[in-house]
Structure 1
Amino acid sequence: MPRPRTLSDEQLLDMVLGLIHAEGPDAASFGAVAKISGLSGSTLVQRFGTKAAMLRACLLRAWDRLDMETARLIRSVPTTPAGAIDLLAGLSKDYGCDAASYAEGLLLLREDLRDPALRARGAAWGKTLAAALDRCLHVQGRTPLGRLMLSQWQGCLLWWGFEPQGSIEDYVRGELTQFLRSVA
């Protein structure tokens, strides 16, 4: 009879994600995760098999959380251009409060781009966001702007990383407002 788990997979993966955010994906070794979780390395190997499988499970959990937050924000914003900005500004909050933490987040992006399953999750998320933005921007019969606005948003985040003046949310709001004025 198997022993009961002291930590659920979700709790454990959240710990791994915290470690990755703090120290980068390479820091998520079985030894480091054993140290922060109180589980033995052999227990972690039994659960995940390999470090790569543990990292993938962790990042799939992060995608699940991001999908839930995205759905919540999509439901909560008005279907107006201001709602489009609110949606992307709301998603920007998780990118960090300073350039260093934003840069650490880019290491997660590297892992997403390396793994086909994670890359597919990113592509699906982008399509969901573009469709929501198109609804907010009322593009019926016109060229869809949602994907273009997503590209602008990601560029905003990058440029804020080089010149982190003010909060990332305020910076995104200002840049996207200017973008929508330009394309109106």
Structure 2
Amino acid sequence: MARPRLISDDTILDATRQVLAELGPTKLTLAAVGARVGLAPPTLMQRFGSKRGLLLASAARSPHMVQLAAAEAEARNTSPLAGLRDFALSSVAHIKHREELGNGLAFVQLDVADPEFRAHALAHSNAIVESSARMLRAAQEAGELKADADVPALARLTLVCFNGALQVWAVTGWGLLTDFLRDQLDLVLSPYLAPG
């Protein structure tokens, strides 16, 4: 009979995300992730097959994490636009140093070069766009956004703003990341806000 797993895959993937932020995908090792959760590298090999398998599992989980974060932000806010801001800001609140974000952005090289990683990156982006569109539609229905605002286009623009702000901040370090992202998002949304 197989021994029960005392440490869940989710716990391991959370640790993988933390180690990725600290070291980036190139320097990440099974030993570093295993040390974070108290598992030996061979145990991680059994579960994920390889470092690549672990990174792919982390990437595959990303769209679900986006959807979960969006739902939590919506539940915390009565205003749909406040929910959208909360969704954006809470997703980066853990990032304190530009190096962490730079290490995360290094993952984009895998997303561009490797078709399997790219599929997960597209799903991640689609989850952001779909979640944003849902909140923007709700904001339109609540009278927060102009009735003629093009919600699908604005949802894609929200993704562009989000990713662009992260990359710019990684280089410039202008203030706190949450403040910088909030300001950029507010600038993007301001032409579409309903009067009053």
TM-score, length of structure 1 as denominator length: 0.78
1:138-153 alignment runs, 5 A limit: 138=145, 140-144=147-151, 145-153=154-162
Q: Is the partner of 2:4 in helix, strand or coil?
A: coil
**Would the aligned equivalents of 2:62 and 2:120 in 1 still touch at CA under 8 Å?**
no
Tell me what 1:97 maps to.
Answer: 96
Q: Is the partner of 1:2 in helix, strand or coil?
A: coil
Identity of aligned residues (%): 25
**Would the aligned equivalents of 2:20 and 2:28 in 1 still touch at CA under 8 Å?**
yes
Tell me what 2:64 maps to.
Answer: 64
CA RMSD of aligned residues (A): 2.8
In the alignment, the residues of structure 2 paired with residue 154 and residue 33 of structure 1 have an alpha-carbon distance, to the nearest angstrom, of 26
Tell me what 1:172 maps to.
Answer: 181
Shift of 1:122: 1.3
Shift of 1:49: 1.8
Shift of 1:72: 0.9
Residues 174 and 120 (structure 1 numbering): CA distance in 2 closer, same or farther, change over 3 Å?
closer
Shift of 1:165: 2.6
Shift of 1:106: 0.8
Structure 1: which 5+ residue stretches go unaligned? none
In the alignment, the residues of structure 2 paired with residue 16 and residue 147 of structure 1 have an alpha-carbon distance, to the nearest angstrom, of 28
Tell me what 1:3 maps to.
Answer: 3
Residue 52 (1) aligns with residue 76 (2): no
Residue 160 (1) aligns with residue 169 (2): yes
**Structure 2 residue identity aligned to 1:5:** R
TM-score, length of structure 2 as denominator length: 0.74
Greater CA drift, 72-81 or 163-172: 72-81
Residue 28 (1) aligns with residue 28 (2): yes
Tell me what 1:85 maps to.
Answer: 85
Aligned residues: 183
**Structure 2 residue identity aligned to 1:75:** A
**Structure 2 residue identity aligned to 1:11:** T
Deviations 1:96-127 (A, max 9, x none): 12222221121234444431441242133133
Shift of 1:62: 4.3
Residue 76 (1) aligns with residue 83 (2): no
Q: Is the partner of 2:5 in helix, strand or coil?
A: coil
Residues 116 and 168 (structure 1 numbering): CA distance in 2 closer, same or farther, change over 3 Å?
closer
Shift of 1:83: 4.7
**Structure 1 residue identity aligned to 2:190:** R
**Would the aligned equivalents of 2:81 and 2:136 in 1 still touch at CA under 8 Å?**
no
**Structure 1 residue identity aligned to 2:100:** S
In the alignment, the residues of structure 2 paired with residue 167 and residue 77 of structure 1 have an alpha-carbon distance, to the nearest angstrom, of 23
